[in-house]
Amino acid sequence: MSEFRRQHPLLILLDTGRGLISNLSFALIIAISLPDDIFGGFVGNAVVALLAMFGLSALFNVLRWYFFLYHYEEGLVHIRQGVLFKRERTIKRDRVQSMNTNANVLQQAFGLVTLQIKTAGVSVDAEVNLRAVSKSEAESIKSHLYSNGVRSESEPVEIPKASRFLQGRDIWLAALTSGRFMVLFSVVALIYAQVFEYIPQSYLDQAVESLSTIPLMVVIGIAVGLFLLTWALSAIVFVIQFANFSVRRFEDRLEVSWGVLKKNHVIVKLHRVQAVVVQQGPLRQPFGLCTMLVEVAGGGAKEREKISLLHPLIRRKEVDGFLKDILPEYRLPLATVALPKRALRRYLFRSIVPVAVLIGIIITVFQFWDLPYSWVSLLLLVPAILLGISRYRNGSLSVEGDQLSLRFRNVSLVQVLIMRSHIQSLSLMANPFQRIGRLRTVRSSFLSSPAGKSYSLKDLDSEDAKTVRDWYSRN
Amino acid sequence: MLEDLREKLRMDNEPKETIDPRARKVWMIGGALGSIIVLAVAIGFYAFVTMIYGGPDWVGWIAIALALVYVPWGVYFSPWLRMRFWRYELRENEMEIQHGIFVIKRHLIPMVRVQYVDTEHGPLMRYFGLTTLSISTAATKFAIPALPKQRAEELRGEIATLARVSEEDV
């Protein structure tokens, strides 16, 4: 494969389509600023401006497609692009850090995929982004970049060491407990609040009048119905996004794929995995379910979430077995060190203070406007106290072999597993109160995309903190 | 009693070396400059609130009082505390750094993780012949301010050598 190739011409359509929305608003701005009498009023102006913009962007995309050339051979991909400013780039096998493919509906109809090749650099976008290549071509490029030494066609396909799939029932469970409906619900509420201002007062009065004649139960019913509807909707979206989820472990890499309308396929080289995160959202915890993520060094910031997904839903009890099969390098700790009793006071203090400030503001405002029932806000203290206790109880740490495990809660319960060789630096911190109480905060920093990241556990006994420090120290 | 509290506020096993005592002077000058700015802002605020906006006197006075409280903190206490807690120690396989004013932080940086070492100095630091040494890993960056120029260069050389010797995969 030494000659240069172009991508599929569908790319022109894809790019032009993608630019259409931004062009649309731009064309409208031009149409408004043009004098009325040139192309027969505002509508005429808009149509002409839009066509002109559309034509220009189509022309530009044709040129860009025409001048984008790539070729690949054993161990490297070479790209030559640019209409006016030429740019060439060669990516070699040993720099490649992950390769992903995905395909939207239009691409699937033409049997095309987007192939992204990322290197360990710090740039946000993928280093190579081929957005319209056939499936077989993508596979071929991948195999050229992957195999060490020449791999012949007759060689048997590599068989994964272990694999896991998400079953039908589980994906619905995952969808219903994803907590995304909260986001969607708040978006709906936000849109409502934005639109609210523009509704004429007379309509509002009328609405209030008719509302007051509707029984309260019906109003509550509508609200609950809306809530359930957004929940169901977000669940369906989730299912479509993560259907056919599978994760496969090969000798040197993980391959994760999912999706129906947009198919994703992510390859993570094993030596790039920096940490494993087991996450339990508040909705999932009662069911004993959790999400597993991997922190990966390098890679693009935009694709972050996707890169790091290891399993969208797994039972807590099965995490151990899953790790044994898929990532035997990591394991759940057998014994953990809990936080000392004297840390509870600090945990309670931290979760109560912001709520107490909030309550203070509410009560002051209510008093100022002479509104009743301000004492109800005191009830907010109950969840704050419970959260504080839960944070304290769930905070724990363990050092076993070469692995550090931290468990803590903000809202979700998070357990992080990190290898000693992946911790870039370890910090112990203590404010005066912690020093008096012989407590330390432990923070481990590691490499993640696009920059560093750190996890910390607060208010650990200073002796236990010293144990971690000595474990990490190489002297 | 006071001695007892003092003992408790101390961090155990502090790293050996302190930074150059002239650092405190630099921080004090910096704090004095900062105080002047804070005071100027407070006086400006007072003028704005009472004279232009016509608000009550006491609002402006609170701002000035706050600024006056800041002055001894910025000029004396904060540099003193910083100097008190700044420690570092270079060992064969790792660097340990301790610093902080209120929250004391102790960082442990293995030589294998060091990506680069730089030295740099601002105009004030240069006047006193001091240099800042910074050490970067792939994920984090740490700086030791106010080392005598020669000592900083020595350290940079040592760290660079030690970091080169120990090669592990990321």
Average pLDDT over residues A188-216: 65
| DSSP symbols for A56-96 | HHHHHHHHHHHH-EEEEETTEEEEEE-SSS-EEEEEEGGGE
Scanning every residue of chain A, which has its alpha carbon at the shortest distance from the alpha carbon of B91? A475
pLDDT at residue B170 greater than cutoff 50: no
Distances (CA, A) of A108 to A101, A116, A132, A138: 12, 16, 10, 13
Phi, psi dihedrals of residue B3, rounded to the nearest 5°: -65, -35
Give contacts of A454 with chain B, Cβ < 8 Å: 139-140
> For the whole model, what pTM was predicted?
0.71
- Lowest mean pLDDT of A264-268, A271-275, A301-305, A335-339, name the range: A301-305
Q: Can you give the pLDDT at residue B9?
A: 82
Tell me, rounded to whole angstroms, the distance of Cα A33 from its chain centroid: 40
d(CA A453, CA A297) in angstroms, rounded, equals: 10
Asked if the Cβ–Cβ distance from B140 to A445 is below 8 Å, we say yes
Closest approach of B113 to chain A, Cα-based (Å): 6
pLDDT at residue A414 greater than cutoff 90: yes
d(CA B17, CA B12) in angstroms, rounded, equals: 14
Fold entry, domain B89-165: PH-domain like (2.30.29)
CB A417, CB A330: distance < 8 Å: yes
d(CA B119, CA B115) in angstroms, rounded, equals: 14
- Lowest mean pLDDT of A49-53, A189-193, A409-413, name the range: A189-193
| Closest partner CB to A424 (pick from B100, B103, B138) | B138
* Partners of residue A289 on adjacent β-strands: A315
Give contacts of B9 with chain A, Cβ < 8 Å: 432, 435-436
Give ∠ CA A298-A300-A302 in degrees, rounded to 5: 145
> B 39-78 residues with CB below 8 A of A?
none
Asked if the Cβ–Cβ distance from A431 to B103 is below 8 Å, we say yes
> Residue B95: is it exposed, middle or buried by C-beta count within 10 angstroms (0-12/13-18/19+)?
buried
- Lowest mean pLDDT of A15-29, A228-242, B121-135, name the range: A15-29
DSSP A105: H
Which of B92, B108, B165 has the highest number of chain A CBs within 10 A, making it the mutation to test binding with A? B108
Give contacts of A297 with chain B, Cβ < 8 Å: 138, 170
Scanning every residue of chain A, which has its alpha carbon at the shortest distance from the alpha carbon of B137? A424
- Which is more confident, A198 or A3? A3
- H/E run at residue A346: helix A343-368
For A148-167, write each residue's pLDDT tens digit. Answer: 544 444 445 677 888 888 77
d(CA B81, CA B86) in angstroms, rounded, equals: 9
Interface residue B138 vs chain A (CB under 8 A) = yes
Scanning every residue of chain A, which has its alpha carbon at the shortest distance from the alpha carbon of B114? A424
At A68, the amino acid letter reads F
d(CA A442, CA A397) in angstroms, rounded, equals: 10
pLDDT at residue A226 greater than cutoff 70: yes
For B22-41, write each residue's pLDDT tens digit. Answer: 889 989 999 999 999 999 99
Q: Sign of torsion, CA B67 B72 B75 B79?
A: negative
Q: What is the mean pLDDT of chain A?
A: 81
For A269-282, write each residue's pLDDT tens digit. Answer: 888 888 999 999 88
Average pLDDT over residues B135-150: 87
Q: Are strands A403-409 and A413-419 parallel, antiparallel or unpaired?
A: antiparallel
Give contacts of A425 with chain B, Cβ < 8 Å: 107-110, 113, 137, 139-140, 142
CB A239, CB A231: distance < 8 Å: no
Domain coordinates in residue numbering, chain B: 18-84, 89-165
Closest approach of A79 to chain B, Cα-based (Å): 28
Scanning every residue of chain B, which has its alpha carbon at the shortest distance from the alpha carbon of A436? B8
Average pLDDT over residues B43-66: 84
Max avg pLDDT among A34-43, A228-237, B150-159: B150-159
| DSSP symbols for A171-183 | HHHHHHTS-HHHH
Scanning every residue of chain B, which has its alpha carbon at the shortest distance from the alpha carbon of A431? B103
d(CA A265, CA A228) in angstroms, rounded, equals: 32
Q: What is the CA radius of gyration of chain A?
A: 28
Asked if the Cβ–Cβ distance from B11 to A427 is below 8 Å, we say no
Q: Can you give the pLDDT at residue A252?
A: 83
Q: What is the mean pLDDT of chain B?
A: 86
Distances (CA, A) of A246 to A267, A278, A325: 12, 17, 14
Closest CA to A312 of A343, A345, A270, A279: A279
Give contacts of B170 with chain A, Cβ < 8 Å: 271, 297, 422, 447
Spell out the residues 6+ positions from residue A288 whose beta carbon is closer than 8 angstroms to its own: A315, A316, A317
Phi-psi region of A336 (alpha: psi -120 to 50; beta: other; left: phi over 0): beta
Interface residue A432 vs chain B (CB under 8 A) = yes
Question: B113: which 2 tokens?
Answer: 């993780």
Domain coordinates in residue numbering, chain A: 1-67, 171-242, 343-391
| DSSP symbols for chain B | -HHHHHHHHSPSS--SEEPPTHHHHHHHHHHHHHHHHHHHHHHHHHIIIIIIS---HHHHHHHHHHHHHHHHIIIIIHHHHHHHH-EEEE-SSEEEEEE-SSSEEEEEEEGGGEEEEEEE--HHHHHTTEEEEEEEESS-EEEEEEEEHHHHHHHHHHHHHHHHH-----
* Strands, E assignment, A281-434: 289-296, 309-315, 337-338, 396-400, 403-409, 413-419, 423-430
Q: Can you give the pLDDT at residue A105?
A: 82
d(CA B142, CA B145) in angstroms, rounded, equals: 10
d(CA B42, CA A255) in angstroms, rounded, equals: 60
pLDDT at residue A104 greater than cutoff 90: no
Asked if the Cβ–Cβ distance from A435 to B93 is below 8 Å, we say no
At B81, the amino acid letter reads L
Interface residue B98 vs chain A (CB under 8 A) = no
Asked if the Cβ–Cβ distance from A425 to B169 is below 8 Å, we say no
- Which is more confident, A146 or A1? A146
| Closest partner CB to B139 (pick from A271, A435, A446) | A446
For A322-366, write each residue's pLDDT tens digit. Answer: 999 899 999 999 888 999 999 999 999 999 999 999 999 988 888
CB pairs under 8 A between A and B: 85
DSSP A8: -
Asked if the Cβ–Cβ distance from A424 to B103 is below 8 Å, we say no
pLDDT at residue A169 greater than cutoff 50: yes
Average pLDDT over residues A431-454: 86
